[in-house]
């Protein structure tokens, strides 16, 4: 017995450890039953108190209660954290791959971007759509191809490309990291249990939201950018000439072929009175295509253009024409107001402002935000506090621009453009112009959580409904049990007593796989279950190799003890070589796959290791023990 | 119980027959791959896919004949896990312009139906969603729930009590659902899963899959070259190529033969191929190991005899392990459900071909190579 002691101890320890690791999974299963029972009584009491509650609200209340039950009970909480987690394909939920559009970030960082820069950016953008490489590397390569030094657009003239690339890369990485942090914040505020947010590659973020089936809600939460900017509005003596120019250029390019017609019309001014309003409007549009869509209030000191909602698309189209772009200076741009005003005819009118392209200050300096009702105007406002650096900057900007207007822009739209009355030293500022208190509140949340440094795009989205997950679990469990029983039965029939020992080892193999999965906090996916089933079929291999070898040894007339010793000895190299090569493919599979496939690769690898342990240690001890007791070995 | 008692069979003598068989299978496979091609799943092709479960059995042909009316161009329709499940796929990721507008009308109509004469206003639209505004929070809450229950992906614009806006999803999956709901009002369904894969992901994955398979082959080549002789490593890799190509050929050949068996290349199937590589090499290595051992014992023995004896020695193990593995993959194929069927099929067939190749391809290659090059191998 003594010679087996250490090995038996090892086996007992391994089994005990697996059971210990698996216990929380079992406990969590039991806890869930308890929680469900409690929820039923809670549901009844809610219905009693409030019989008219809508189904949706009831559901929300209940899921909230469920969460609080788990959170407030330490054992529940611990068990849940330590159980084997189920993948999204088994429990249902959303899986999203998002990509941070760092091209936009680089574009923003560039100083004095010219035509050449825009071209490079465009081709780099095209390439970025195909690969996962970081954007800085791509654009740096493009510049190198064109033999343009990066210092022309980034950093100072004395810096070499390498330093600039290094710095830009750091900025890009930082942007992705910040995006992850912000998304993390938002998801936590939203209250999903066990979300997972990870980065992948250079620019990607993988978000897993278990149990979430409301796609719209989730996407909205993740993608909202909340980019806050303070930009100076151009004064009318700057804006009006530009607008005149645009009008002129448009009239020329759109209607230049009609110039002869216009001449005819002029000469027949006697007929003018006969023209209908429609024709007059047409005429106006031909002569002043810009001003016919964007009206200027000549009484106002500001040069804000008013655009009716129905004309917006057309005007956008005009403004994006190359000949129009060429007359708008690079350092300014037209921006719409976020919300339309409604005039007395019930038409929705947007304001179009001409503002600096470069923001004076961005939302990064905001440390706190508060939605309120302004007691004077009774309209909703959001008050913001800035950090000291921002406050200093804000004081300087407001101090040197008194009398001018500063637009407060969020995600590319202007919320308000108040006139700067005087220097603001405190770093406090206000946003007005929200439609209602809701909007103000939403703004408050996004300002607090922070702005995404660059837009994020969803490039892959997978939603699994809860019923499909349950079906998969049921099918997976059923297959596992059937697979196990069939293989076990076959082994017993074919190898008799030895087969029974191998079956015991097989059982422990499965136990070890599950234990290690729980210990690693790994996620069990549907392919992972498939991996376990496959392992059940393949795990007997080591035992089969050994048994067949022992049979061969016995056939040569050796004693049982010698046959067993030799059988094991001779099988080692085959077992190791074959399993190591399979293990390699497991590693490669793990590298290749994502989510579910990784779960499969992981179970496969754990399966290989634990089946080796079962075959080489557990069955061996049993055999050695039986031989030492003088029992007859029966290998079928 | 014993199947083989002291087997001694001239496997190598039958290798010419095996070559003809393998060659034929490979030829058929390659021809099918060239002309019929492989059907790539959404993982690789990109697009939108939605799986639905109806309450009552549906006639897949009826849905197919209706697919033109969905207005999303070419739409693939298949069964999904039994006769009540339907899988619909399109290569589109965003809705074409006309369908988008038409869909907005559908939403408008639905709102009018739920609350006739309610004042509604679209305040924002984007490629994937539209924002409606209503006069008061109660109406908004009611419509949000009612529309969600009617199958639209809706959410309140904010959680404040005086919120009056609803965001409604207008993606490809939303339109498909709406159209089918309209067509089969007496047979409601629930959504099992929705997948949207961008074209970039698909392209990357294709490359990754090919790299992974080749990397696996390379690692095996190096490891076996190191542990055995290089000729063994090449023999093993040739056998693996043989297995993968024939299985791929089968995928191409059988695609579309049965609705039950969904043979398109998905990420899971690629995983199965890598596993097949792992299994097949496992099998081959066991035979090689015995050849190595026997070569050590009979240093001057005839290589052909040694190989034959080694294959015979390991034959019981080969058969039994293949059998148990087939058993478990068969269970997976039958009971594992729709998601894993392609995966299980690859492995089921792969185990058979892998077992065959480790006997008749890998070892035979080693034998032919060594005899042709008139070299001797010794360990």
User: pLDDT exceeding 70 applies to what percent of chain A?
Assistant: 90
Q: Which two tokens stand for residue A324?
A: 């129009």
CA distance B65 to chain A (A): 26
Is the alpha carbon torsion for A460, A465, A468, A469 positive or negative?
positive
Give the pLDDT band (50/70/90) at residue A146: confident
Is residue A635 a part of any domain in this protein? no
Question: Do residues A238 and A376 share a domain?
Answer: yes
Indicate the SS3 state at residue A278: helix
Report how far apart, in Å, the C-alpha atoms of B298 and of each of A527, B219, B307, B369 are: 45, 30, 11, 20
CATH number at residue A101: 3.30.70.3400
Summary mean pLDDT of chain A: 82
Q: Which of B153, B195, B274 sits opposite A589 (nearest CB)?
A: B274
Question: Do residues B226 and B264 share a domain?
Answer: yes
What is the radius of gyration, based on Cα positions, of chain A? 36
Neighbour tally for B16: CB within 10 Å? 10
Q: Which of A476, A541, A580 sits opposite B321 (nearest CB)?
A: A541
What does the pLDDT average to over A168-183? 82
What pLDDT score does A439 carry?
Answer: 66
Q: Which of A54, A468, A530 sits opposite B343 (nearest CB)?
A: A530
Is residue A90 a part of any domain in this protein? no
CATH number at residue A335: 3.30.1360.200
| Consecutive H or E run containing B131 | strand B129-133
Is the alpha carbon torsion for B161, B163, B164, B169 positive or negative?
negative
Chosen domain end from B155, B170, B185: B170
CA angle at A338 for the pair A332 and A341, rounded to the nearest 5°: 115
Indicate the SS3 state at residue A447: helix
Is residue A168 a part of any domain in this protein? yes
| Consecutive H or E run containing B206 | helix B199-227
Is residue B33 a part of any domain in this protein? yes
- Of the candidates B306, B283, B287, the one whose C-alpha atom is nearest the C-alpha of residue B377 is B306
Question: Do residues A369 and A433 share a domain?
Answer: yes
Q: Which two tokens stand for residue B48?
A: 């939108």
Q: Which of A578, A594, A636 sits opposite B1 (nearest CB)?
A: A636
Neighbour tally for A36: CB within 10 Å? 10
Is residue B294 a part of any domain in this protein? yes
User: Nearest residue on chain B to A465, judged by CA atoms?
Assistant: B192
Give the pLDDT band (50/70/90) at residue B198: confident
Question: Do residues A356 and A422 share a domain?
Answer: yes
Question: Do residues A542 and A591 share a domain?
Answer: yes
Is residue A189's pLDDT more than 80?
A: no
Q: Do B328 and A461 touch (CB under 8 A)?
A: no
Question: Do residues A7 and A26 share a domain?
Answer: yes
To 10 degrees, the CA torsion angle through A161, A162, A164, A169? 130
CA distance B20 to chain A (A): 28
Question: Do residues A213 and A248 share a domain?
Answer: no
Higher pLDDT, A539 or A362: A539
Question: Do residues B273 and B138 share a domain?
Answer: no
Tell me the chain A residues in contact with residue B204 when contact means C-beta distances shorter than 8 Å: 131-132
What does the pLDDT average to over B49-59? 87
* Contact residues for A519 (Cβ-Cβ < 8 A; gap 6+): A21
Spatial distance between the Cα atoms of B147 and A214, rounded to a whole number of angstroms: 13
Per the structure, how many domains does chain A have? Answer: 4
Poorest-confidence range of A219-228, A234-243, A328-337, B189-198?
A219-228
Mutate to test the interface with A, among B136, B232, B332, B338 (most CBs of A within 10 A): B332
Say what the ipTM of the complex is: 0.83
Is residue A578's pLDDT more than 80?
A: yes
Residues composing chain A:
636
Is residue B6 a part of any domain in this protein? no
What pLDDT score does A446 carry?
Answer: 59
Q: Which residues of B235-269 are buried (b: 16+ CB within 10 A; e: fewer)?
A: bbbbbbbbbbbbbbbbbbbebeeeeeebbbbbbbb
Helix-helix angle A466-519:A526-555, to 10 degrees: 50
Q: For residues A201 and A132, is the Cβ–Cβ distance under 8 A?
A: yes
Summarised one tens digit per residue, pLDDT across range A405-418 is 888 887 677 877 87
Question: Do residues B308 and B211 share a domain?
Answer: yes
Tell me the chain A residues in contact with residue B281 when contact means C-beta distances shorter than 8 Å: 578, 581-582, 585
Question: Do residues A387 and A507 share a domain?
Answer: no
Mutate to test the interface with A, among B271, B309, B322 (most CBs of A within 10 A): B271
* Contact residues for A200 (Cβ-Cβ < 8 A; gap 6+): A97, A206, A594
CA distance B8 to chain A (A): 13
Question: Do residues A490 and A433 share a domain?
Answer: no
Neighbour tally for B363: CB within 10 Å? 27
Tell me the chain A residues in contact with residue B340 when contact means C-beta distances shorter than 8 Å: 526-527, 530
CA distance A177 to chain B (A): 21
| Consecutive H or E run containing B195 | strand B189-197
Summarised one tens digit per residue, pLDDT across range A87-116 is 888 888 888 888 888 887 787 777 777 888
Q: Which two tokens stand for residue A414?
A: 């202007």
Per the structure, how many domains does chain B have? Answer: 3
Higher pLDDT, A631 or A545: A545
Tell me the chain B residues in contact with residue A534 when contact means C-beta distances shorter than 8 Å: 275, 325, 328-329, 332, 347
Indicate the SS3 state at residue A121: helix
Is residue A200 a part of any domain in this protein? yes
Question: Do residues B291 and B227 share a domain?
Answer: yes
Q: For residues A85 and A523, is the Cβ–Cβ distance under 8 A?
A: yes
Summarised one tens digit per residue, pLDDT across range A453-477 is 777 888 888 888 888 888 888 999 9
What pLDDT score does B27 carry?
Answer: 95
CA distance B30 to chain A (A): 25
Question: Do residues A483 and A400 share a domain?
Answer: no
To 10 degrees, the CA torsion angle through A82, A88, A93, A98? 110
Is residue B265 a part of any domain in this protein? yes
User: Nearest residue on chain A to B323, judged by CA atoms?
Assistant: A537
Query: How do beta strands A413-416 and B154-156 pair?
Result: unpaired
Q: For residues A199 and A127, is the Cβ–Cβ distance under 8 A?
A: no
Q: Which two tokens stand for residue B181?
A: 């709901």
Is residue B5 a part of any domain in this protein? no
Give the number of C-alpha atoms closer than 13 A to the C-alpha of residue A424, restricted to the C-beta side. 22
Q: Do B337 and A471 touch (CB under 8 A)?
A: yes
Beta pairing partners, A382: A371, A431
Is residue B3 a part of any domain in this protein? no
Chosen domain end from A392, A421, A451: A451
Is residue B179 a part of any domain in this protein? yes
Tell me the chain A residues in contact with residue B177 when contact means C-beta distances shorter than 8 Å: none
Residue B108 is part of which domain span? 97-170
* Contact residues for A11 (Cβ-Cβ < 8 A; gap 6+): A617, A618, A621
Chain A / chain B CB contacts < 8 angstroms? 257
User: Nearest residue on chain A to B155, judged by CA atoms?
Assistant: A217
Question: Do residues A293 and A215 share a domain?
Answer: no
Tell me the chain A residues in contact with residue B193 when contact means C-beta distances shorter than 8 Å: 462-465, 468
Q: Do B336 and A479 touch (CB under 8 A)?
A: yes
Per-residue three-class SS string for A145-191:
HCCCCHHHCCCCCCCCHHHHHHHHHHHHHHHHHHHHHHHHHHHHHHC
Residue A45 is part of which domain span? 2-83
Summarised one tens digit per residue, pLDDT across range A258-269 is 444 444 444 444
| Consecutive H or E run containing A102 | helix A102-109
Long-range contacts of A51-56 (CB under 8 A, 24+ apart): A54/B141, A54/B145, A55/B145, A56/B144, A56/B145, A56/B148
What does the pLDDT average to over A114-131? 80
Question: Do residues B265 and B291 share a domain?
Answer: yes
- A303-312, A496-505, B109-118 — which one is most confidently predicted on average? A496-505
CA distance A407 to chain B (A): 22
* Contact residues for B149 (Cβ-Cβ < 8 A; gap 6+): none
- Of the candidates A465, A338, A341, A478, the one whose C-alpha atom is nearest the C-alpha of residue A414 is A338
Neighbour tally for A586: CB within 10 Å? 26
User: Nearest residue on chain A to B216, judged by CA atoms?
Assistant: A585
Is residue A560 a part of any domain in this protein? yes
Question: Do residues A151 and A44 share a domain?
Answer: no
Summarised one tens digit per residue, pLDDT across range B57-116 is 888 888 887 777 776 777 788 888 777 888 888 887 777 777 777 788 888 888 888 888
Which DSSP category does A236 fall into? H
- Of the candidates A526, A465, A459, A599, the one whose C-alpha atom is nearest the C-alpha of residue A94 is A465
What pLDDT score does A438 carry?
Answer: 66
- Of the candidates A300, A318, A363, A357, the one whose C-alpha atom is nearest the C-alpha of residue A334 is A357
Q: Which of A441, A526, A585 sits opposite B278 (nearest CB)?
A: A585
What pLDDT score does B179 carry?
Answer: 79
Backbone torsion region of residue A243, taken as left when φ is above 0, otherwise alpha when ψ lies between -120 and 50, otherwise beta: alpha
Spatial distance between the Cα atoms of A469 and B334, rounded to a whole number of angstroms: 18
Q: Which two tokens stand for residue A341?
A: 């005003």
Q: Do B339 and A476 touch (CB under 8 A)?
A: no
Is the alpha carbon torsion for A395, A400, A406, A411 positive or negative?
negative
What pLDDT score does A450 carry?
Answer: 67
Tell me the chain B residues in contact with residue A556 when contact means C-beta distances shorter than 8 Å: none
Question: Do residues B21 and B83 share a domain?
Answer: no
Residues composing chain B:
379
Poorest-confidence range of A441-445, A553-557, A561-565, B363-367?
A441-445
Tell me the chain B residues in contact with residue A56 when contact means C-beta distances shorter than 8 Å: 144-145, 148
Higher pLDDT, A215 or B188: B188
Q: Which of A436, A465, A588 sits opposite B192 (nearest CB)?
A: A465
CA distance B10 to chain A (A): 19
Spatial distance between the Cα atoms of B125 and A253, rounded to a whole number of angstroms: 31
Which DSSP category does A210 fall into? E
Question: Do residues A447 and A487 share a domain?
Answer: no
Chosen domain end from A49, A83, A117: A83
Q: For residues A418 and A405, is the Cβ–Cβ distance under 8 A?
A: yes
Q: Do B329 and A537 touch (CB under 8 A)?
A: yes
User: pLDDT exceeding 90 applies to what percent of chain B?
Assistant: 27
CA distance A360 to chain B (A): 28
CATH number at residue A483: 1.20.1640.10
Mutate to test the interface with A, among B331, B341, B343, B345 (most CBs of A within 10 A): B331
Tell me the chain A residues in contact with residue B164 when contact means C-beta distances shorter than 8 Å: 436, 438
Is residue B176's pLDDT more than 50?
A: yes
CATH number at residue B90: 3.30.70.100
Is residue A145 a part of any domain in this protein? yes
Spatial distance between the Cα atoms of A360 and A460, rounded to a whole number of angstroms: 36
User: Nearest residue on chain A to B337, judged by CA atoms?
Assistant: A475
To 10 degrees, the CA torsion angle through A116, A118, A124, A130? -140
Residue tagged 């788990």 (tokens): A70
Indicate the SS3 state at residue B66: coil
CA distance B49 to chain A (A): 9
Question: Do residues B352 and B269 share a domain?
Answer: yes
Q: Do B325 and A527 touch (CB under 8 A)?
A: no
Residue tagged 């790539």 (tokens): B40
Question: Do residues B228 and B336 share a domain?
Answer: yes
Is residue A308's pLDDT more than 60?
A: yes
What pLDDT score does A260 carry?
Answer: 44
Is residue A502 a part of any domain in this protein? yes
Chosen domain end from A461, A490, A508: A461
To 10 degrees, the CA torsion angle through B76, B81, B86, B89? -30
């Amino acid at each position: 017995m003594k010679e087996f002691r250490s090995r038996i101890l090892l086996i007992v320890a391994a089994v005990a450890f697996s059971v210990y690791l698996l216990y929380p999974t079992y406990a969590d299963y039991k806890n869930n039953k308890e929680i469900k029972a409690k929820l039923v009584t809670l549901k009844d009491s809610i219905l009693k108190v409030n019989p008219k509650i809508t189904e949706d609200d009831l559901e929300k209340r209940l899921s909230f209660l469920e969460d609080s039950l788990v959170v407030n009970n330490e054992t529940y909480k611990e068990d849940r954290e330590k159980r084997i987690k189920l993948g999204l394909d088994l429990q249902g939920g959303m899986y999203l791959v998002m990509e941070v559009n760092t091209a936009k970030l680089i574009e923003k960082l560039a100083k004095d971007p010219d035509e050449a820069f825009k071209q490079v950016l465009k081709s780099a953008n095209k390439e970025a759509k195909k690969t996962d490489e970081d954007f800085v590397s791509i654009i740096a390569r493009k510049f190198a191809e064109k033999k343009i030094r990066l210092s022309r657009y980034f950093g100072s003239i004395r810096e070499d490309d390498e330093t600039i690339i290094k710095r830009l890369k750091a900025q890009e990485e930082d942007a992705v990291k910040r995006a992850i942090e912000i998304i993390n914040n938002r998801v936590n505020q939203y209250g999903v249990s066990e979300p997972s947010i990870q980065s992948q590659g250079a620019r990607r973020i993988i978000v897993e939201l278990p149990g979430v089936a409301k796609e719209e809600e989730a996407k909205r939460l993740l993608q909202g950018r909340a980019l806050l900017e303070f930009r100076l509005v151009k004064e009318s003596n700057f804006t009006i000439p530009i607008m005149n120019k645009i009008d002129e250029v448009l009239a020329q390019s759109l209607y230049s072929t009609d110039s002869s017609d216009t001449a005819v019309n002029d000469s027949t001014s006697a007929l003018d009175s006969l023209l209908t309003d429609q024709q007059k409007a047409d005429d106006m549009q031909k002569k002043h295509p810009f001003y016919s869509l964007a009206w200027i209030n000549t009484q106002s000191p500001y040069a804000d253009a008013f655009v009716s909602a129905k004309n917006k698309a057309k005007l956008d189209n005009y403004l994006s024409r190359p000949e129009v772009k060429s007359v708008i200076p690079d350092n300014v741009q037209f921006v719409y107001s976020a919300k339309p005003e409604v005039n007395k005819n019930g038409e929705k009118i947007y304001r179009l402002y001409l503002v600096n392209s470069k923001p004076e200050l961005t939302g990064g300096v905001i440390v706190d935000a508060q939605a309120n009702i302004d007691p004077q105007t009774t309209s909703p406002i959001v008050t913001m506090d800035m950090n000291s650096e921002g406050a200093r900057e804000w004081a300087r900007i407001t101090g040197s621009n008194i009398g001018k207007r500063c637009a407060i822009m969020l995600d590319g739209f202007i919320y308000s453009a108040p006139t700067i009355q005087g220097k603001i030293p405190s770093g406090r500022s206000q946003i007005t112009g929200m439609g209602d208190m809701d909007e103000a509140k939403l703004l408050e949340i996004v300002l607090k959580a922070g702005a995404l440094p660059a837009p994020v795009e969803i490039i892959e989205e997978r939603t699994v409904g809860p019923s499909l997950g349950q079906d998969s679990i049921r099918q997976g469990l059923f297959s596992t049990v059937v697979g196990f029983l069939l293989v076990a039965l076959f082994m017993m029939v074919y190898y008799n007593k030895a087969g029974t020992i191998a079956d015991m080892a097989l059982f422990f193999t499965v136990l070890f796989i599950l234990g290690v999965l729980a210990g690693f906090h790994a996620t069990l996916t549907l392919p992972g279950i498939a991996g376990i089933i496959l392992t059940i079929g393949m795990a007997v291999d080591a035992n089969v190799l050994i048994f067949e070898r022992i049979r061969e040894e016995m056939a040569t007339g050796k004693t049982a003890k010698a046959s067993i010793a030799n059988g094991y000895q001779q099988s080692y190299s085959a077992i190791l070589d074959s399993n190591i090569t399979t293990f390699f493919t497991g590693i490669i599979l793990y590298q290749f796959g994502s989510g579910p496939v990784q779960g499969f690769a992981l179970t496969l690898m754990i399966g290989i290791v634990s089946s080796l342990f079962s075959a080489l240690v557990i069955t061996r001890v049993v055999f050695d023990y039986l031989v030492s007791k003088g029992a007859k070995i029966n290998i079928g | 119980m014993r199947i083989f008692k002291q087997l001694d069979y001239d496997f190598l003598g039958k290798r010419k027959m095996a070559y003809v068989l393998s060659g034929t299978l490979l030829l058929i496979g390659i021809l099918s791959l060239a002309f019929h091609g492989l059907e790539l799943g959404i993982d690789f092709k990109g697009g939108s896919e939605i799986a639905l479960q109806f309450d009552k059995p549906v006639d897949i042909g009826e849905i197919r004949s209706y697919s033109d009316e969905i207005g999303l161009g070419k739409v693939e329709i298949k069964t999904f896990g039994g006769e009540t499940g339907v899988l619909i796929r399109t290569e589109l990721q965003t809705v074409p312009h006309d369908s988008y507008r038409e869909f907005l009308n559908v939403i408008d109509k639905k709102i009018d139906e739920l609350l006739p004469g309610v004042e509604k206003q679209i305040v924002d639209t984007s490629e994937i969603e539209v924002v409606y505004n209503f006069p008061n929070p109660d109406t908004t809450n009611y419509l949000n729930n009612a529309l969600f229950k009617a199958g639209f992906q809706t959410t309140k614009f904010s959680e404040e009590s005086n919120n009056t806006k609803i965001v409604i999803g207008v993606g490809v999956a939303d339109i498909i659902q709406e159209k089918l709901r309209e067509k089969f009002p007496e047979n409601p369904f629930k959504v099992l899963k929705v997948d949207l894969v961008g074209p970039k992901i698909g392209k990357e994955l294709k490359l990754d899959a090919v790299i992974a398979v080749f990397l696996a082959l390379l690692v095996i080549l190096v490891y076996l070259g190191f542990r055995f002789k290089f000729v063994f490593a090449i023999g093993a890799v040739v056998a693996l190529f043989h297995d993968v190509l024939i299985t791929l050929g089968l995928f191409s050949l059988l695609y579309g033969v049965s609705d039950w068996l969904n043979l398109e290349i998905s990420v899971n199937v690629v995983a199965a191929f890598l596993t097949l590589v792992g299994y097949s090499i496992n099998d081959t290595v066991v035979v090689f190991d015995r050849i190595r051992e026997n070569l050590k014992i009979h240093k001057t023995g005839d290589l052909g005899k040694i190989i034959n004896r080694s294959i015979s020695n390991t034959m019981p193990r080969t058969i039994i392990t293949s059998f148990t593995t087939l058993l478990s993959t068969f269970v997976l194929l039958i009971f594992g459900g729709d998601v894993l069927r392609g995966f299980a099929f690859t492995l089921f067939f792969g185990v058979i071909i892998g077992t065959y190749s480790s006997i008749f391809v890998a070892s035979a290659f080693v034998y032919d190579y060594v005899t042709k090059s008139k070299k001797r191998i010794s360990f």
